Structure 1
Amino acid sequence: MSRPQEPHRPFFPFGNPFRMISPKGSTLSPQLLAVLHAFEITLGERLKKLTPKSNDEILSLSWMSLAMQMLSETHNDIKTLITDLDLPVHDWDEKWIDVYLDISVKLLDICIAFSSEISRLNQGNLLLQCALHNLNSASSNQFSRARSSLDGWKQHIGSKNPRIEKCGGILDNLVGSLDLPKVKKSPKGKVLMQAMYGVKVQTVFVCSVLAVAFSGSTKNLVDLEVAETYRWAPEFNSLHNLVNEELRVRFSGGRFTVLKELEAVDSAFKELYPIIPDVADPIGTELDLKTVEQLGRATEKLSEGLDLLAKGVDGFFQVVLTGRDALLSNLRSGGTVYDHVSRGNIGAQAVN
């Protein structure tokens, strides 16, 4: 997974986010209001769907995968909205284009970081599978090999991922610039900027939660509050407060990890490791099969969850990259932003 090289621009050098909602002497037509309302209602429904029914669901790999799927769908929605607005490239303010390109380059960086962490966790999972294989073999040195693999897993899983550590700086940049650009004399531009605000808020929130989960630290935790003037604000504020509060509770308890499936593996590891003999050929030694099976089940669930999340992250990467390519292509041709994308199968790039 790689992204094109692009010079970094200042991200969202925006003014008051509410200035574009009801500027002096400017009103939105019923048609434009309908487009905006449809987008915001869908966003609210999506955030509601992401709200977990119980705290146990928070930061499970399946929930994180759903979060990435919802994010891909929202980014596809903004492409549909732009197509519905029929806003030609020559009508785009230069700063809007800078905003979009800067968003995309940062999101591609975050996706690459997430993918690298998923790969790192999968590498650790291979060590667990190796340990389980040795424990189920009849080799004379099965226990020493198993202990070696488990030692390797403990050391590997406790290491840090430099790419994840850099996510905090990207998120800080985004959070510090949540305001929207001033829009003058362009009703369509006002609709676009208000919709993009919703996209950005959801994006920052989801990416910050995954960054916290992967880094094992609350330093990447983002606290946001959306004004109730937005239709999707109640759903977002409810989801945001629930997830962030649970994250703080879990970290205050000194947990090894906040990832549910990884925590289950660590619990099984702690039960199994002390009862594995540390000599090469312990005569007559038998392990508690239930303990071995427990680690096996936990390892399998972790592997399945990581595969699902990897697809979600890659799907989002493709959505962002495709949108970026479409904009650059239309800048060259002078067409309508996303006009040829809307005729393509961009939905297939999202997580199904």
Structure 2
Amino acid sequence: MLHIEMSRPHDGNSPFFPFGNPFRMIFPKGSYLSPRFLALLNSFEETLAERLKKLKPKDHGDILSLSWMSLAMQLLSETHTDIKTLVTDLQFPVSDWDDKWMDVYLDNSIKLLDICIAFSSELSRLNQGQLLLQCVLHVLDVSSTFPSKEQLMRAHSSISDWMQRIHLRSPKLENCAVILHELAESLHLPKIKNSAKGKVLMRAMYGVRIETIFVCSVFTAAFSGSAKPLVDLHVSDKFLWAEVFNELQGDVNGGISNLFSKEGITILKDLEAVETSVKHLYQMTSADGLTETDKLRNSVLDLAKCADGLSQGLDLLSKEVECYFQNVLTGRDAFLCNLRVGGTESEPQRQENSVEEQVVR
């Protein structure tokens, strides 16, 4: 697990980040915000806190259900949308941003699109596995007659294929942990010039980026089957959402680490339910397996129910990941268009070509 310490007393040792205290750069000592800007910032942070509260799991069994993951991705998209709204409310056009802010935004957005592509690839792989399960259910249709020996063998073969393929990982996931580490490092922003709008925007963007790293690290851990991608971020209590986030992160990351410490646990809860049912059927369809009609029928019905739940969960999560991808992409497009309107063309054009290459890759 990657640990990023975001605030600590000075102890004479070099900090993780080479630039000093990020919070002093977000709000330098003595900085002043007008009531209007302060209200906009407080509204953004309070909304973020409420979203994070919705993700607090009731128990460890809820942490990595597909429904929890879908909610996490949905709420993350909403927070990204809020940033766009905040920029408009601040009347702070992109052309007025500091060049370093622009570089950070453009670089991070490319990284997020890469992560979304990796997630979509993994979800597509899991969905393909559903085809094998549908084949099993079709062959073992016991509504009328008991399956023949040949049908049992065909079902057994399909189940074996599913069990071998389901724990394979998309190669695109391998780079996600590296990307998340880079995103965590970039949390440390460059100095902010004397701009109240800039201070509000940078503080709000910090919240978005913390939520993004948290959600994406949890997804990467779930899909990769490893706790290593988890990122432990310690947020200063200067932020209105800090306490909620720190508690949420502790519950979720701790719960995931506990799950990984148990052998034979499939980290995605919906997938684990299917795998349990599949293993039962695998034994029943083997040459020396049980062949009682009622037991086979019940096992087939149980698999059908679990597979249907998995299919619905995967479909919902796939839609939320696609929605988030489009959110990041359209936000980036708007950013580049605003820069062109402002007269800066060379760098945006290079970045625009870069994102097109990423999307089609």
TM-score range, shorter chain: 0.7 to 0.9
Aligned to 1:244: 253
Deviation, 1:142, is 0.9
Aligned to 1:218: 227
In the alignment, residue 245 of structure 2 is paired with which amino acid?
Answer: F
| Cα separation, partners in 2 of 1:229 and 1:58, compared to 1, 3 Å | same
The range that moved more, 198-207 or 29-38, is 29-38
Q: Is the 8 A contact 1:124 1:156 kept in 2?
A: yes
In the alignment, residue 145 of structure 1 is paired with which amino acid?
Answer: R
Aligned to 2:338: 330
How many Å separate the matches in 2 of 1:326 and 1:59? 33
Structure 2's unaligned 5+ residue stretches are: 1-16, 344-361
Give TM-score, length-normalised by structure 1. Answer: 0.87
| Cα separation, partners in 2 of 1:13 and 1:98, compared to 1, 3 Å | farther
Aligned to 2:326: 318
Structure 2 residue 25 is the aligned partner of structure 1 residue 16: no
Aligned to 1:295: 303
Structure 2 residue 279 is the aligned partner of structure 1 residue 274: no
Aligned to 1:170: 179
In the alignment, residue 318 of structure 2 is paired with which amino acid?
Answer: A
In the alignment, residue 22 of structure 2 is paired with which amino acid?
Answer: P
Q: Is the 8 A contact 1:16 1:182 kept in 2?
A: no
How many Å separate the matches in 2 of 1:273 and 1:223? 40
Aligned to 2:72: 67
Aligned to 1:42: 47
Q: Is the 8 A contact 2:169 2:223 kept in 1?
A: no
The range that moved more, 54-63 or 301-310, is 54-63
How many Å separate the matches in 2 of 1:309 and 1:77? 21
- Superposed, 1:333-352 pairs within 5 Å as 333-334=341-342
User: 1:94 pairs with 65, 90, 99, which one?
Assistant: 99
How many Å separate the matches in 2 of 1:67 and 1:135? 37
How many Å separate the matches in 1 of 2:103 and 2:244? 30
How many Å separate the matches in 2 of 1:14 and 1:89? 25
How many Å separate the matches in 1 of 2:98 and 2:297? 66
- Superposed, 1:224-239 pairs within 5 Å as 224-239=233-248
In the alignment, residue 218 of structure 1 is paired with which amino acid?
Answer: A
Structure 2 residue 92 is the aligned partner of structure 1 residue 53: no
Deviation, 1:22, is 3.9
How many Å separate the matches in 1 of 2:286 and 2:227? 38
In the alignment, residue 152 of structure 2 is paired with which amino acid?
Answer: F
How many Å separate the matches in 2 of 1:57 and 1:74? 22
Q: Is the 8 A contact 1:15 1:180 kept in 2?
A: no
Q: CA RMSD in A?
A: 2.1
In the alignment, residue 233 of structure 1 is paired with which amino acid?
Answer: A
How many Å separate the matches in 1 of 2:305 and 2:195? 57
How many Å separate the matches in 1 of 2:163 and 2:153? 15
Deviation, 1:278, is 3.2
Structure 1's unaligned 5+ residue stretches are: 1-11, 336-352
Deviation, 1:263, is 0.4
Aligned to 2:199: 190
Aligned to 1:308: 316
How many Å separate the matches in 1 of 2:226 and 2:29? 45
SS of the counterpart of 1:224? strand
SS of the counterpart of 2:22? coil
Give TM-score, length-normalised by structure 2. Answer: 0.85
User: 2:116 pairs with 100, 107, 111, which one?
Assistant: 111
Q: Is the 8 A contact 2:26 2:192 kept in 1?
A: no
Runs of 4+ that moved beyond 3 A: 12-15, 137-140, 284-287
Aligned to 2:10: none
Q: Is the 8 A contact 2:140 2:151 kept in 1?
A: yes
Aligned to 1:254: 263
Deviation, 1:55, is 2.1
State, as a whole percentage, how many aligned pairs show the same letter: 60
Deviation, 1:226, is 0.7
| Cα separation, partners in 2 of 1:22 and 1:116, compared to 1, 3 Å | closer
Deviation, 1:285, is 6.3
How many Å separate the matches in 2 of 1:73 and 1:196? 13
Q: Is the 8 A contact 1:14 1:182 kept in 2?
A: no
How many pairs were matched up?
A: 322
Cα deviation 1:239-285 (Å, max 9, x = unaligned): 10000111011000123411110000111112111111439xx9x86
| Cα separation, partners in 2 of 1:14 and 1:295, compared to 1, 3 Å | farther
Structure 2 residue 211 is the aligned partner of structure 1 residue 202: yes
SS of the counterpart of 2:232? coil
Q: Is the 8 A contact 1:75 1:319 kept in 2?
A: yes
Deviation, 1:165, is 1.7
Q: Is the 8 A contact 1:272 1:291 kept in 2?
A: yes
Q: Is the 8 A contact 2:87 2:93 kept in 1?
A: no
SS of the counterpart of 2:32? coil
